[in-house]
Amino acid sequence: MKQVVPGSITGVTESLAASVLEHRFGTGEPYTLGVEEEYMLLHPTSFDLVQHIEMVLDAIQGDELADRLNAELMQSVLEIATPVCRTAGDVMRELATLRGYVRDVARGQDLRVGAAGTHPFSLFERQRITAKDRYHALIDQLQYVARRELIFGMHIHVAVDDPDKAIQVVNGLLPHLAPLLALSASSPFWRGEPTGLASSRQIVFSAFPRSGPPPRFRDYADYAAVVGQLERTGCIADYTHIWWDIRPHPKWGTIEVRICDAVTRLEDAVAIAAYCQSLVKQLSESYDEGKEIPSYHRILTSENKWLAARYGLDAPVMDLAKGHRIRIPVAKLVRRTLRELEPHARELGSERELEGITALLERGNSAERQLRVFNANRDIVEVVRAIADATETLPADAVAAAG
């Protein structure tokens, strides 16, 4: 009798278990990084969203960095992607280059750019859909759910050298959803109103099918069998239409962490990337050593995620690892995890960037900063101006590293 991971959705037929999903796990160096960020295209004085992605992409044709910039679902969104990076320091250099490039290109088109999980006051009804077959098919399939998806995220890829290991590392990352969301939370506003949430983006995106925390799979074959059934029955075109908070990405041989809001400050984005890289290394080595990777019921990890979306860095989360009957501040949980991750970050050459998590905890996340600006004079436009200013301001050492 086969042993099944508690909570696994194994139970698909044996014929489905034979499904093959090609992958590239193990074809490159483990723990390499890639980061994708989604930016808002903003009017320079009203700070409302503008539908100018095609104008921006036309302006950069032939540029060296042009292939790093892409359109997204809505024409007011610009996505960037770094090349493969070995260390978080490399991520700092590449993101500084790309943010500086995007800022300068935008200014050349009389635009501003900003990074946050939601635009504080723009309305999704006023956004135009990008003219790509994939996006029109998505709107046709999901209707209102997709049309209101005026949100912005940061995705972090970390390479893993074995497909079964990747599945177990994804399982092991589930308790870290709440800390990652709390660190990145940057969407306290929706449609011009403070929502009382640190991450409104999470609530908007939760309406998508195949979103939220992934189920726990037994191994790669278990995962491939489920993806195979969804594809064969026409529910999805391919596995990229599964939008979990964390997912395996077979095409790149990575684990993709998708839980994070778009992060306003460059230093914070890089620190979170270093945190994810160190977590993946820690869990991968536990797997290699035959250690048990802690696993918790989905209800518990989902509850902690909700608390992080609601309260951000002030979230009183369950201490699942310790099993205490009391809740603890998520910031305390992050500090404890940092101590565990420091030797891994040192071996990765990302120790300095991981220290940025401590600085983030001390000054607060973007959601807190946005609310401070708003509460000073109740000016929602000033909030977006502050987002743009912080997004476009690059630390001197990052600029120097970018050359």
Q: What is the pLDDT of residues 17-54, one digit of tens each?
A: 445 799 999 999 999 999 999 999 999 999 999 999 99
SS3 (DSSP) at 327: strand
Phi first, then psi: give them for residue 195, nearest 5 degrees.
-95, -10
Q: Pick the more confident residue, 61 or 7.
A: 61
pLDDT at 19: 55
Q: Please report, for the chain, the start and end positions of each structural domain, with discontinuous segments joined by +.
A: 14-402
**Which neighbouring-strand residues pair with 316?**
329
* Res 8 pLDDT > 70: no
Helix segments in 129-219, DSSP class H: 133-142, 144-147, 163-173, 177-184, 200-205
Residue 17's nearest CA partner among 285, 222, 264 is 222
Residue 398, pLDDT score: 74
| Whole-number percent of the chain with pLDDT over 90 | 90
Predicted confidence (pLDDT) at residue 1 exceeds the cutoff of 90: no
Residue 14 pLDDT > 50:
no
In this predicted structure, which of 259-268, 292-301, 330-339 has the lowest mean pLDDT?
A: 292-301
Q: Find the helix or strand (DSSP H, E) in which 397 lies.
A: helix 396-402
Residue 403 has pLDDT above 90, yes or no: no
For position 392, what pLDDT does the model report? 98
Amino acid at 247: R
Q: What percent of the chain has pLDDT over 70?
A: 95
Chain-wide mean pLDDT for the chain? Answer: 93
In terms of CATH architecture, what is 14-402? 2-Layer Sandwich (3.30)
**pLDDT given at position 12:** 44
pLDDT for position 20? 77
Residue 4 is predicted with a pLDDT of 34
Map residue 31 onto helix, strand or coil.
coil
- The mean pLDDT value for 238-253 works out to 96
pLDDT digits (tens, 9 = 90+) for 77-106: 999 999 999 999 999 999 999 999 999 999
Query: Residue 250: is its pLDDT beyond 50?
Result: yes
- Which one-letter amino acid corresponds to residue 27? T
- What's the pTM value of the predicted model, to 2 decimals? 0.94
Contact between 386 and 377 (Cβ < 8 Å): no
Total Cβ atoms within 10 A of residue 289: 7
Using alpha carbons only, give the angle 173, 161, 284 rounded to the nearest 5 degrees.
Answer: 35
Region 340-357 average pLDDT: 98
Q: What is the pLDDT of residue 296?
A: 92
